[in-house]
Structure 1
Amino acid sequence: MGHIQKFSGSPRRDGTRAVKWRAVTMNALGKRISKVHALKSGASAWLKSVEGNPLVGAADKTMVDAADAHYRWFDTLVKAGAKEAVTRDGYGTARDEHLKADKAFAALKFSELTTPLTQAFLDQRFEATGSLDLVKRLRRVLVVWCDFAIRKGWLVVNIARPCKVETSQRPDEDEDRVTIPEKAVLARLLQAAAQGDHPERDEAAVRILMFGGLRISELLGLPDTSVALGNQGGEIRVRERLDRHYKVLGKLKSKKARRDIPIGPTAALAVRGWRIKRGPARGFFHVNAQGERDQRPGRLFPDPDGGPLWGYLDFIRDCWLPMLRRAGLVEMLPDSKGKNRPVQAFGPHALRHVAASLWISQNLMPKKVQELLGHSTLAMTMDLYGHLWKDKDEDADLARRSEAAIG
C-alpha cells in the first residue's frame, strides 16, 4: 500500500518554507514511484488513481496520442537544428504504417494497455511484415513513445520495455560480418571509373571513398576548401554532410565524425585532375533544415546539371551505376512484377569497408582505425572489423605454446 509524506519545500525569499505532500507507492513491476503535490488532497487522489491501475497515470490517452505528441515535439527539435528530419520521418512512418495499421491496439487506452498486449502487437506486426529487423525498430520506437508518455504524466511504467523480439538462436556463420569486395573486383572498378564520360570526376570520387573511408553523405557534402593537396598526397577535413533525403547540408552523425583523413598521391592526383576539369568551385546560398539562409563555399562534387549540391540518388544514377555496369558488376534480375531491374554487386558504402580493411592490413591499431572512420565508439569499430585483426599464425603459435605448458 502507498502512503503520503509531509515535508518542507525549498526556502522562499522571505525564509519561509512551503508545505508539500509526497505520495509514494509501488508500481506493477515492484518499482518505487512517487509524486509531489502542493495539497494533501492532490496526493491522495494521485495515489488512489495509481493504485487502482498501477501501470497508468492518464487513463484517457492512447499510444497514438503519445505518438502524435512526440512527433510534434520532435518536429520542434528538427526546426531548432537539434535533431534530423529523417529521424522524425521514421517516427511518422512507424505511427502511420504500423501503429495505426492495428486499429484495435491503436484504440486501446493506457488504462487498458499492458505489456502482453504490446508484445502481441509486435508479434502481429512480424506476421504481417515477415521482417525481424523492422519489428526490432518498432519495439525501440514504442519504448521511446512510452518514455515520452511518462514525461507527460500519461504513463507511470514503460510497458514496451519488457517486450522482446526473438532472434535466431543459431545465426549463420559470418552473418554479422561486413562484405568486402575482392581486390580484383576493386581493380576493375577503378579501371571502369577512368573509362566513362566523366573519368576525372568518377575516379576522384571512387578513390576518396576507397582510400579515405568517407560515408557517401560526407563525400557529397564535402566543401572544395576541405581538401588540401600536397606533393606527397593530401588531407580531407570532414566537418559536415549532405542529408540524402532532403538534400540539405547538416551536422555530422557525432563529434567523433569530425576528423582529418590522409590520402595518398594517386588519390590526390585524381582530385587535382578533377578540379582542373570542373573549374573553380562556386559558392552558393544555402537554406538549411531550419529555413536559415547563409552563404557556403562550393562543393568538391557539385551537381553535374549545374546545381550546387549533388544528391544521393543522382550520384547513384549518374556515377555509381554506370561505373558498375562498365565493370560488369550490375546484374539485371526480375522484380516481384517480373520486370528486370539492375541489381548492383555492392553499394558505395562497401568502399568504406575497403578502406578500413586496407588500414587494418597495414597494422593500424583499432583506436586509430576508429578515428579515421569517425566511429562514435571503439566498440562499433571492433564489432564491424574485429575479425580482420585475427592473425592465424599467431593463433597457431598460441595453441602450440598452450599444449607445451602442460605436456
Structure 2
Amino acid sequence: MADIDDRWHRKGPDGKQQRTDRYGVGARWLLRWREADGTQRKKSFQRKADAEQYATTVEHGMMSGTYVSPDAGKITVGEWAARWLQAQGHLARSTFARYEIAINRHIVLKWGRVRLSAVKHADVQAWVSGLAGEWSPASVVKVHRVFSQVLAWAVRDGRLARNPAEGIRLPRPSLPDHRYLDHAEVAKLAERCGSYGVVIRFLAYTGLRWGELAGLKVGRVDLVRRRFLVAESVTEVNGALVWGSPKTHERRSVPLPRFLVEELRPRIEGRADDALVFMAPQGGVLRVRNFRRNVFDPAVRDVGPAGFHPHELRHTAASLAIASGADVKLVQQMLGHKTATMTLDLYGHLFPDRLNDVADRMDAAVSAPNVPRE
C-alpha cells in the first residue's frame, strides 16, 4: 500500500513555514510505496490531492498488474530496440535483415536517444506523417510496424503502461496493378530464355516464390503423382545464402501439369534426392539476381512486357489457375497463402462474377412446383 505523510511541512528558524526542502520547492506531501521486488519508492507533491491521486494510480496498477516502475522507462529507445532485435533470433534471416534496416535507418535516427517513457502518441503520429512525405506508403507501414513491436515488447516487460504507437493513422498503400501473362505470352518469354525456359514455365504454372523454386530438391518431386512438396526456401541476404522454411512456415503440396512432368523428368530421374532441381550454370543455387541479369531481363527487353519481373510470374500462375476454374481455396493452397482472405484481397477481381447465377438459382427454387404460393 502507498502511504502519505506531511512531515516535510516544517517551520523555519523564524517560525514561518519553510517553503523549500530536498524534494523541491513547496514540496509538502510525501508518498511512499514498496514495489513487488521490495524496492522502496517515494515521490513528493505540493498538494495532498495530487499525492492521493498518484497513490490511487500506484495501488490500482499493482492490483491489476499494470504498474510501471518510475525507473523502468528511463532506458533509451535505441538501447531497447537493440535488445528487442537481439531477441528476434526466431525470425528468418531475410526478415531479421529488414527489421534491422528499419531500426538503424529510421527508428534510431529519430528516437535513439529518447527515453521510452518520453515517447508520446502525438509525437509518433507526427513522425509517421513526416515519413509518409518521403517514403512509399508500404515502407512507412513496415517501419511503423517494427517500432510498434519494439514498444509492445516494452509494455510486456513492464516498462510502459501502454503502447504509444498504437492507433496511429497510417498512409494507405495502393493496391498494386498486377500484370498477368496469358499462355501465349508465357510460351514466348520461355522460348526467349532458352535452356532456362523451363524455369519460366515452372513459375508461371505452379506459382512458387523464387526462393521456393531455387530450394526445390529432387526428393520432393513425385513425377508419378504429378505433385511436389514445398518444404524449404533459400534466400540471398547480404550476399549470403540462407536456408529456411517457406514464407508461411508451412509445407504444401503443389500439382504439376503433365507437360511440366516431361520437362522435369531429365532433371529428376537418376539424381540424388538432395540435389537441386534447378541449378546455376556452374552448379549450386540459382540466384535470382544473376538469373535476372543474364537471362530474364534481356528476354523481357526483347519480348516484353516492359519492366516485367520474375515475381509477376506468381501472379500469372494465380490468374491462369482461376481462369481454368480453380476456386479460392485451391488457389490459396497452391500459392501458400496464410488465409483465403489474403488470396481474395490479391486476386478476388479475377474470379468470375457469379451473382446473377445465384439469383437465377433462387428464382428456380422459388418457382419449383412444390413451393406453396398464396
TM-score range, shorter chain: 0.7 to 0.9
* Pair 1:124–1:235, CA change in 2 (3 A): same
Which residue does the alignment assign to 1:141?
146
Q: CA deviation at 1:57?
A: 6.1
Distance 1:393 1:87, change over 3 A: closer
Deviation of 1:329 after TM superposition, in Å, equals 1.7
Task: Give the alignment partner of residue 329 of structure 1, picking from 296, 301, 304.
Answer: 304
Structure 2: how far apart are the matches of 1:370 and 1:63? 39
Q: Is the counterpart of residue 318 in structure 1 residue 311 in structure 2?
A: no
Kindly report which structure 2 residues correspond to 1:211-290, keeping only aligned pairs within 5 A, or say none: 211-230=205-224, 234-245=226-237, 246-256=240-250, 258-274=251-267, 281=271
Question: Separation in 1 of the partners of 2:131 and 2:81?
Answer: 17
TM-score relative to the length of structure 2:
0.73
- In structure 2, the residue matched to 1:186 is 186
The alpha-carbon distance between structure 1 residues 310 and 167, as it changes in their structure 2 partners (threshold 3 A), is closer
Structure 2 distance, partners of 1:100, 1:376, is 32
Deviation of 1:68 (Å) = 1.0
State the alpha-carbon separation in 1 of the partners of residues 213 and 84 from structure 2: 33
Q: How does 1:292-311 map to 2 (within 5 A)?
A: 297-306=274-283, 308-311=284-287
Residue 330 (structure 1) shift:
6.6
The answer to whether structure 1 residue 86 and structure 2 residue 94 are counterparts is yes
Deviation at 1:392, TM superposition (A): 6.4
| Alignment-derived partner of residue 10 in structure 2 | none
Q: Is the 8 A contact 1:59 1:111 kept in 2?
A: yes
Amino acid at match of 1:329: G
The whole-number CA distance in structure 1 between the counterparts of 2:55 and 2:79 is 24
2-structure distance, mates of 1:40, 1:94: 37
The verdict on how the C-alpha distance between 1:271 and 1:100 changes in structure 2, with shifts beyond 3 A counting, is: same
1:12-31 aligned within 5 A: none
Residues of 1 paired with 2:211 and 2:345: CA distance? Answer: 22
1:304 is matched by which residue type in structure 2? Answer: P
Secondary structure at the residue paired with 1:244?
strand
Give 1:358 shift: 2.1
Could you tell me how far 1:115 is from its partner in structure 2? 0.4
Letter in 2 for 1:89: A
User: 1:41 Cα deviation (Å)?
Assistant: 4.9
1:226-264 per-position Cα deviation (integer Å, ceiling 9, x unaligned)? 22224xx822221111113231321122254x1222212
Aligned to 1:205: 199
- Listed as ranges, the matches of 1:337-376 within 5 Å are 344=307, 346-376=308-338
Structure 2 counterpart of 1:158, which letter? Answer: N
Would you say 1:151 and 2:163 are equivalent positions?
A: no
1:160 to 147, 162, 165: 165
Distance 2:108 2:229 in 1: 44
Structure 2 unaligned spans of 5+: 4-33, 45-53, 62-66, 368-374
Retained in 2: the 8 A contact 1:55–1:111?
no
Match of 2:64 in 1: none
**Among 388, 391, 394, which residue is 2:356 paired with?**
394
Question: What letter corresponds to residue 160 of structure 1 in structure 2?
Answer: A
Report if aligned partners of 2:248, 2:338 keep a CA contact under 8 Å in 1.
yes
Contact 1:220-1:311 at 8 Å conserved across structures = yes
Matches of 1:298 and 1:260 in 2, distance apart? 19
Cα distance, 1:191–1:363 mapped onto 2, change above 3 Å:
same
Contact map agreement 1:281 1:300 (CA 8 A) in 2: no
Structure 1 residue identity aligned to 2:295? C
For the 8 Å contact 2:280–2:287, the answer to whether it is kept is yes
User: Quick check: 1:67–1:145 contact (8 Å CA) kept in 2?
Assistant: yes
1:124 paired with 2:124, answer no
Q: 1-side partners of 2:339 and 2:264: how far apart?
A: 30
User: C-alpha distance in 2, partners of 1:217/1:378?
Assistant: 22
Contact 1:213 1:373 in 2 (8 A): yes
AA at the equivalent of 1:305: Q
Q: Deviations over 1:139-168 (max 9, x none)?
A: 111110101112333212101112211438
Q: How far apart, in 1, do the equivalents of 2:85 and 2:127 lie? A: 21
Structure 1: distance between partners of 2:116 and 2:37: 26
Of 177-186 and 144-153, deviating more is: 177-186
Q: Provide the secondary structure at the position in 1 that maps to 2:254.
A: strand
Determine the C-alpha separation between the residues in 2 that align with 1:390 and 1:56.
59
Unaligned runs of 5+ in 1: 5-34, 284-296, 332-343
8 Å Cα contact 2:69/2:159 also seen in 1: no
Q: Is the 8 A contact 1:211 1:355 kept in 2?
A: yes
Higher strand share: 1
In the alignment, what sits opposite 2:84?
70
Question: Which structure has the greater CA radius of gyration?
Answer: 2
Contact 2:227 2:253 in 1 (8 A): yes
- On the 8 A contact 2:68/2:159 being kept in 1, the answer is no
- Percent identity, aligned pairs only, is 25
- Which one-letter code corresponds to 2:104 in the other structure? D
Aligned-partner SS, 1:191: helix
1:271-312: CA deviation from partner (whole Å, max 9, x where unpaired): 124568xxx6468xxxxxxxxxxxxx1101122123x22222
Q: Paired residue for 1:114?
A: 120
Evaluate the alpha carbon distance shift between residue 192 and residue 275 of structure 1 in structure 2; reply closer, same or farther with a 3 A threshold.
Answer: farther
Does the 8 Å contact 1:209/1:351 carry over to 2? yes
TM-score under structure 1 normalisation? 0.67
Q: Separation in 1 of the partners of 2:73 and 2:267?
A: 63
- The residue type equivalent to 1:214 in the other structure is L
Q: For residues 143 and 56 of structure 1, what CA distance do their matches in structure 2 show?
A: 21
